[in-house]
Amino acid sequence: MPDACKHPRVRVVSRDEDAEYVECELCGEVFDASEFRDMAIEEKLPQDEA
């Protein structure tokens, strides 16, 4: 999986009571919308995923 994808285009695929799930239209990854916001913030930091 290309970890260079910053998921610039996402669409909502599922919605929960207090959670929303979005899918990246580029890489197809699905994640929590709140998690996506965190990722957008951490975008400034160097990617260091183990």
Binding interface with Zn ion (CB under 5 A): 5, 7, 24, 26-27
Query: How many residues does this entry show for the chain?
Result: 50
Of 12 and 27, the one with the shorter C-beta distance to Zn ion is 27
Summarize the chain as % helix, strand, coil (round to 5).
20, 30, 50
**CB of 24 closer than 8 Å to CB of 15:** no
Q: How far is the CB of 4 from Zn ion (least distance, A)?
A: 9
Q: Which residue is nearest to Zn ion (CB)?
A: 24
- 17 or 28: CB nearest Zn ion: 28
